Structure 1
Amino acid sequence: MTKIFHTLICLVALVFFLEACAQKKDQKMIYLSEDYEKFPYDIYEPDKKYELKDHLREISALSYFTEHSLLCVNDEKGIIYKFNHKKKEVTKKYEFDKSGDYEGVEMVDSLVYVLRSDGRIFKVDHLKDKNIHSVKRTTHLNAGNDTEGLGYDPSTNSLLVACKGSPAHSNKYRGKRAIYEFSIDKNELSKEPKYLIDQDQIRKILEFDAYSRFSVRLMENINPSQGDITFQPSAVAVHPITKNLYVVGSVGKLLVVLNPKGDIQAIVKLKRKIFRQPEGICFTPDGTMFISNEGKGSKANILKYSFKQ
């Protein structure tokens, strides 16, 4: 009975939040900082949309592979999928480990790194051979941190690990979202976050009214494990040309752009009819952007966007 009551309260709080967002009919959709001239993508007008078959209904991450191919993982199986967007199909599968909640994938040189939601990172090699080899690295992050985003920063030869859940193992960074740095050279994760995204700052930029702020706080107090629903990172990637960080949040339906120092440059609201559940993002060397959406009751898809300098 208590569990049912708790669920009902959570649903009511969520309805409050969604209704508060819906009340602003003429609301802005893209917010830019003073030193950021324009958002370089027509985010609501993708160049192409690739619908995916059932084995990628739960697609949770993307990485650039070759000119016409992306690497994908889903959050259920220990398989890396090679998706050829020219042929519009999966052309190869690489099984690297047992089933698990895999949330990030990143190609670095000839190696592929896969992130699991409990903070473990898998290094996979020999993709071109039949005998795929993988090594699992445990980090100080765990399921409570809910690690969902994995990107590569070539300037430091490191992986960026974004936490959807708790930013640390204490209340030290309460109200913030954390991105840690995993040094490929040292094979270790930073003890402290490299980037912190302030939830209050996001609410101020988005001009949350008192009704919206109350709804967010209500949800956080009712369900602390879910946390602040303003923005919860699900994917991260470094832009190959501008060097900015693009952080996607399925919870909150936002795309947050940070400069290399960690300052917010832009916040883009992601329309639900286009982004049902955005869980992956990657770029090609020329700045072309891909964002993936889980199926969520329908077909999963990958959206393609041209870079407009």
Structure 2
Amino acid sequence: MPCLKKVKLLILLVFVVVFSACSKNKKNKQTCFLSENYTHFPYRINQPSRTYILSKELREISGLTYKGDHKLLCINDEQGYVFEYDIQKRKITQRIKFAKKGDFEAVEMMDNKVVALRSDGKLYFINDMSHSKSESIKVKTGLGSKNDTEGLAYDASNQTLLIACKGLAHKDSSYMDKRAIYRYSIKDSSLSKYPDILIDQGELETILNLDAYTKFSNKLLKGINPSKGNLTFQPSAIAIHPISRNIYVLGSVGKLLLVLNPQGELLAVNRLKRKIFPQPEGICFTPDGTLFISTEGKMMSGKIYQFDYKPVLKN
């Protein structure tokens, strides 16, 4: 037992050294943690540069992607519609019906095509965005409702889609305390057999220094509903940074924004303010690195926040 305690203490000390706080809130709580290999987070994540108030149609906005020409594509989790939102005009400029009602969680531009993700793991490839109604091709990925798929990102470097699971990471019990991101090959129409990236809940708990009560409350759910498990973090959206190629993973449950390198190593953990992000569900980038995050309105209007990219300037 004494040896085990020494090991746990050593692990804790490693995290204290490797991760440093980049800011603190009024209660002196750390809001951002950075790896020693990632010394600068390029966004003021709780200080948006612009805010876009959405109409009632997008109160429950659940997905977001950048189309180009100052336009975003949005999706809500009730209807089979893709909405085009013009950030200059600050309004919806087009509505495209592509499927019947369903729990749609993400939308993504894939070169010049559009694909939507449903919570049961099915993908909808939309053929034509020029009309108010478009045919779509439904594809099974191999993931299901227990996985509770919510995040979708297109990796143009190898023509694959990253799919983030809010629920069950894998049927193997050894994955119980993990969150999974799978890779789907568009060329082969096949899903990776095992998660391409794993997010360790225990690692996040240590970094965030969660109190014993929070850990205990989270772990109470284990065995009751395996698809939910630990509530420290549950992915709700995912995007690949166009310049750094780092992977940004948003979590409505946990109110966190994680940054991973392309190999899946954790670089940063950001706490999100609940007043600003009551239910963050969508994330995307423009080619110059401008970041957009959408949040459901709950009892208020849904919003899209814009964050300017502030990279480290080299001498």
Q: Which residue, out of 84, 94, 104, partners 1:82?
A: 84
| Structure 2 counterparts to residues 247-262 of structure 1, below 5 A | 247-262=249-264
Question: Does the 8 A contact of 2:218 with 2:229 survive in 1?
Answer: no
Tell me the alpha carbon deviations over residues 143-184 of structure 1, each in whole angstroms, 9 at most, x when there is no partner.
Answer: 110000001112221111000000123324110000001111
For 1:276, the equivalent position in structure 2 comes to: 278
Q: Tell me: CA distance 1:199–1:139, structure 2 relative to 1, closer, same or farther (3 Å).
A: same
* Of 290, 297, 300, the match for 1:298: 300
* Equivalence for 1:214: 216
How far apart are the structure 1 equivalents of 2:70 and 2:227?
A: 40
How far apart are 1:216 and its partner, in Å? 1.8
The answer to whether the Cα contact below 8 Å between 1:149 and 1:163 also exists between their aligned partners in 2 is yes
1:176-255 → structure 2 map (5 Å cutoff) = 176-220=178-222, 223-255=225-257
Q: CA deviation at 1:199?
A: 0.4
The alpha carbon displacement at 1:224 in A equals: 4.2
Matched, 1:145 2:133: no
Gaps of 5+ in 1: 1-23
SS in 2 for 1:233: strand
In 2, are the aligned partners of 1:83 and 1:91 still within 8 Å (CA)? yes
Identify the residue that residue 31 of structure 1 maps to in structure 2: 33
Aligned length: 286
Structure 2 residue ranges without an equivalent (≥5): 1-25
Secondary structure in 1 matching 2:234: coil
Q: Secondary structure at the match of 2:277?
A: coil
**CA distance, structure 1, for counterparts of residue 224 and residue 246 of structure 2:** 35
Residue 221 (structure 1) shift: 5.1
1:68 is aligned to: 70
Q: Secondary structure at the match of 2:30?
A: coil
Equivalence map 1:18-167=2 (5 Å): 25-129=27-131, 132-167=134-169
Alignment check: 8 A CA contact 1:33 1:265 kept? yes
The C-alpha deviation readout for 1:235-254, integer Å capped at 9, x for no partner, is 00000001000000000000
Structure 2 CA distance, aligned partners of 1:45 and 1:219?
Answer: 34
Question: Does the 8 A contact of 1:110 with 1:125 survive in 2?
Answer: no
State whether residues 161 and 186 of structure 2, in contact with CA within 8 Å, keep that contact through their aligned partners in structure 1.
yes
CA distance in structure 1 between the aligned counterparts of 2:222 and 2:248, rounded to whole angstroms = 25
Query: Residue 204 of structure 2 aligns to a residue in which SS?
Result: helix
Which amino acid counterpart does residue 246 of structure 2 have in structure 1? Answer: N
| Cα separation, 2, equivalents of 1:39 and 1:258 | 12
Work out the CA distance in 1 between the residues paired with 2:193 and 2:223: 28
Does the CA contact (< 8 Å) of 1:73 and 1:102 recur in 2? yes
Query: Partners in 2 of 1:271 and 1:131 — Cα distance?
Result: 38
Distance in 1 (CA, whole Å) between partners of 2:113 and 2:190 is 16
Encode CA deviations 1:67-96: one digit per residue, 9 max, x unaligned: 310001000000000000110100001100
CA contact (8 A) 1:149 1:235 kept: yes
Which residue in 1 is equivalent to 2:290?
Answer: 288
